[in-house]
Structure 1
Amino acid sequence: MYKNPLQEGVDYYIENGCYVFTAHYLTQRGYCCQNGCRHCPYGFNRA
């Protein structure tokens, strides 16, 4: 599990008022949430 505080520009960025997680953060988290994250390193694509 990811226990360090999140760092803007490393773990996420803000686009149009929304938080967008980076592939770095998602990889460190260790699992796919299957929500169709923009930078999903696990290859999940929402249809």
Structure 2
Amino acid sequence: MKKIIPIEEGDSYWTEEGYRVFTEQFHLKRGYCCESGCRHCPYGYDPKTNRQ
């Protein structure tokens, strides 16, 4: 089971379309890449090549 990380100030923001976007701060706190092609991924994942 994955560890639950509480959302804190600066971990995310809402787009005009109503989507929650996680920031680099949150991804680093989580500690791993989920390989979903996140907008602010600090791990360098490229969904086109499926590689980090």
Same fold (TM over 0.5): yes
Larger Rg over CA atoms: 2
* TM-score (ref. length: structure 2): 0.74
- Among the aligned pairs, what percent are the same residue? 47
Structure possessing the higher relative contact order (Cα contacts under 8 Å, 6 or more residues apart): 1
More strand by share: 1
Q: CA RMSD in A?
A: 1.5
1:23 is matched with which residue?
24
Unaligned runs of 5+ in 2: none
Structure 1 residue ranges, 4+ long, deviating more than 4 angstroms after superposition: none
* TM-score (ref. length: structure 1): 0.81
Unaligned runs of 5+ in 1: none
